[in-house]
Amino acid sequence: MEDPHTQPAHNKTDMLVKSAAVFLAMAGLGAGICVPFFFESQSLYYKFGLDKALLQWGKAAGLAAAVLMVYQVVFVSRFRVLETHFTRKRLWAAHKTCGKLIALLVILHPVLILGSDRFAFFPLEKRYWPEFTGIFLWVLILAIVGVSVFQNKLPLSYKTWQALHRSGVLVTVCLVFIHAGFVSESFVSGFPRTGLFLAAGIAGVLFIRIYVKRLLNK
């Protein structure tokens, strides 16, 4: 039987771990959202009023989606401390909800950015390859989320969907960092560049950990 005197200490530890996890998650998300407002790219120098606000919030939506993609990898990384204090069921529920939120942010991202330019599309030139990468990402992310949401209604076996989902997510996360790093001058130096490399490093370590564990468990 569990000692009743240890229960308050257990509850306190549980609360501290949950609070720390939520705080770190919100801090990372807030840091990403703040980049367009505190580290303006050259494209913002010529925007004023509503147009500037649309562009800033469009960039913020994209960066928020990028941060949440890293969190998605955390949710499925099977960290014992997280599963102990949040339970695997809640982490899986957070993973599904976060996926839908990412889809919403990905839809808003180009709408707000193009809206700041009266929906004038950029020229089809080689120098705009980061933007074209973003278009490919837009399609890929919405396809991943859409197939995941309606997987039970599609002629796909769970094993096939899982293989496609895992490979698609890996490609998506890699391309997100490439897109973010080259599409905006905000990430040329300073805090944003450090944060981008840190997030990319964390995602890389998490992916390596996941795939190594899968190989070892075969």
Contacts of 172 (CB under 8 A, 6+ apart): 69, 137, 140, 141, 144
Residue 8 pLDDT level (bands cut at 50, 70, 90): low
27's tokens = 């801090």
Say if residues 196 and 63 touch (Cβ distance below 8 Å).
Answer: no
Residue 189 pLDDT level (bands cut at 50, 70, 90): confident
Between CA 167 and CA 211 the distance in angstroms is 11
Confidence check: pLDDT of 3 > 60: no
Say if residues 179 and 137 touch (Cβ distance below 8 Å).
Answer: yes
pTM here is: 0.89
Which amino acid is present at 91? L
Say if residues 179 and 130 touch (Cβ distance below 8 Å).
Answer: yes
